[in-house]
Chain A
Amino acid sequence: MAVPWYWSALLAFVVVNFLLISASVLVYAERKISAAMQNRPGPNRVGPVGFLQPFADVAKLLLKENIVPYLANPFVHSLAPFLMVVIAMTTGALIPFAKGVVVADLGVGVLVLLALTSISVYGITLAGWSSNSKFSLLGGLRSAAQMISYELSMGLAVVSVILIAGTLNLTEIVESQAGGMSLLGWNLFRNPIGATIFIVTAFAETNRTPFDLPEAEQELVGGYHTEYSGMKFGMFFLAEYVNFFVASFFIVTLFFGGYLIPFQSALVSAVPALDGSIWLSLLQVMTLILKAGFFAYLFIWVRWTLPRFKYNQLMTLGWKYLLPIALVNVLVIALIISLFRTF
């Protein structure tokens, strides 16, 4: 579907700003939720119930001195945080927010998503290498090894979704889940193993606990961003939150019906005026954000509940459990689909 360029540009502007704002809201949410879980008040000084705390933090980071270590590679050292943020924001362009509301409606959308995920490791690896510090280098190496290991299982989980939907386009993948009142048709119910694998690998790809070895504070100080200060550190922070928010959007898009409102067909037949109107699109956007918000909460919840893996456990889980399970899952789904097609 061809849309005028200014519509795409406006939408892209809205999406980027939405992601920026949501990152600071998520930082606040993370601190408040962790505080509630640890039975302490959390930030409550700046603004009403501390809501302006993340904005104050950003202002502080902007004013801080930018320190580049002696013997660091200055160009790559500056490039790495930009790469992180740019790639994290680009992924947002692929999310279908409602029917027809997507910045880049690509025929190969899912593959672009996987490609962007796989190149996002450059930011961390280069940050680790260019800082010329042992802690940073170890963090960068760990993240490269971790991302390579979990990318395969993630790719295979996505392949199982592609097999079911029969398309690489994200909007069409969402539409393919419209059966069963837009609820039972979710890929979660059609492909539960794939959904589990994708969620686990999404945690690993976004470097969130229990897979946050690249920035394990106890052993690596700050990991790959040890030598960063000021807004460059802020950009790593921003990229982390945007990454896991976008990851929750993709979990929803691929497995939880995307923007489809549960009982959407019943709703449209009850209120026929809604069909094709802007209000339906708005409702769909709200549904998507609610669903993604739940998964963002899940990311935070898991972080403050589970301890970190040991490195060998991480590798064992990735290569010896997730990868074979994902392979068998793809095989089983392909067999079932080919059987259904023949009969």
Chain B
Amino acid sequence: MAAQILFFLLATVAIAAGLGMLLSRNPVGSALWLVLNLFCIAGLYLTLNAEFIAVVQILVYAGAIMVLFLFVIMLLNLDVLPEIKDIEWKKVFGFTLGMGVLGLLSFVVASSLDILPNEISARRAAEVGSATSLGEVLFTQYALPLEVIGILLLAATIGAVMLAKRKPV
């Protein structure tokens, strides 16, 4: 029960932070909202008993990628966007309603096609979520996809180095 309350609390904050990121007129403010959002997602993983994924989420996204984002935003010294003068509430309302209907319909379609994920017990989730079982699955069942992703990241890294080196030194 406590886990469910925590889940909805974190989910609400995550959605609010996502909205804050989109609506913030200050680029650094947007980045900070996104960081809050990432922390909430990590908390959601924790309520789902996936502690390894939760820590890696903070380590990689909040700790490395967002720090780089913040670094670049500060270096570029972007201006604060002008405040929005008048919000068209009709459009906001229509968009929210449309998205709600879309979500409802996709749930109905997914449940009627029987492709919703099965419920698993908390104990089983804790077993699957540990670093050991995750590592075992990654390096046996999903070894090839893992290696391919590794090569993809290597290619991206080399590409970034090449772009940075384009000017003759």
- On A, residues with C-beta under 8 Å from B are 73, 76, 106-108, 111-112, 114-115, 117-119, 121-122, 125-126, 128-129, 137, 140-141, 144-145, 147-148, 151, 168
In the bound complex, CA of A121 to CA of B67 (Å)? 8
- On B, residues with C-beta under 8 Å from A are 28, 32, 35, 51-52, 55-56, 58-59, 62-64, 67-68, 70-71, 74-75, 130-131
Between A and B, 9 residue pairs with Cβ closer than 8 Å are A107-B130, A107-B131, A111-B59, A115-B59, A118-B59, A125-B71, A129-B28, A144-B71, A144-B74
A148 to B59, Cβ gap below 8 A? no
A129 to B74, Cβ gap below 8 A? yes
The residue in chain B whose Cβ has the minimal distance to the Cβ of A109 is: B55
Residues of chain A within 8 A (CB-CB) of B71 are: 125, 141, 144-145, 148
Interchain CB contact (< 8 A) of A148 among B28, B67, B131: B67
A141 to B75, Cβ gap below 8 A? yes
Q: Taking chain B's interface residues, is the majority helix, strand, or loop, or is none over half, making it mixed? A: helix
Apart from A108-B51, A108-B131, A140-B74, what 20 extra A-B contacts exist at CB < 8 Å? A76-B28, A108-B55, A114-B63, A115-B59, A117-B63, A118-B58, A118-B62, A119-B63, A121-B63, A122-B70, A125-B71, A126-B32, A128-B74, A137-B74, A141-B75, A144-B70, A145-B71, A148-B64, A148-B68, A151-B63
Residues of chain B within 8 A (CB-CB) of A125 are: 67, 70-71, 74
In the bound complex, CA of A117 to CA of B62 (Å)? 11
B58 to A119, Cβ gap below 8 A? yes
Residues of chain B within 8 A (CB-CB) of A73 are: 28
Residues of chain A within 8 A (CB-CB) of B74 are: 125, 128-129, 137, 140-141, 144
In the bound complex, CA of A148 to CA of B70 (Å)? 12
B63 to A115, Cβ gap below 8 A? yes
Residues of chain A within 8 A (CB-CB) of B70 are: 122, 125, 129, 144
Residues of chain B within 8 A (CB-CB) of A141 are: 71, 74-75
Interchain CB contact (< 8 A) of A106 among B51, B59, B67: B51
- 10 closest A-B pairs (Cβ-Cβ)? A118-B63, A115-B59, A115-B58, A111-B55, A144-B71, A119-B63, A108-B55, A129-B74, A115-B55, A121-B67
A118 to B64, Cβ gap below 8 A? yes
Residues of chain B within 8 A (CB-CB) of A111 are: 52, 55-56, 59, 131
The residue in chain B whose Cβ has the minimal distance to the Cβ of A129 is: B74
Residues of chain B within 8 A (CB-CB) of A115 are: 55, 58-59, 62-63
In the bound complex, CA of A278 to CA of B59 (Å)? 36
In the bound complex, CA of A151 to CA of B63 (Å)? 10
Shortest beta-carbon distance from B16 to chain A in Å: 16
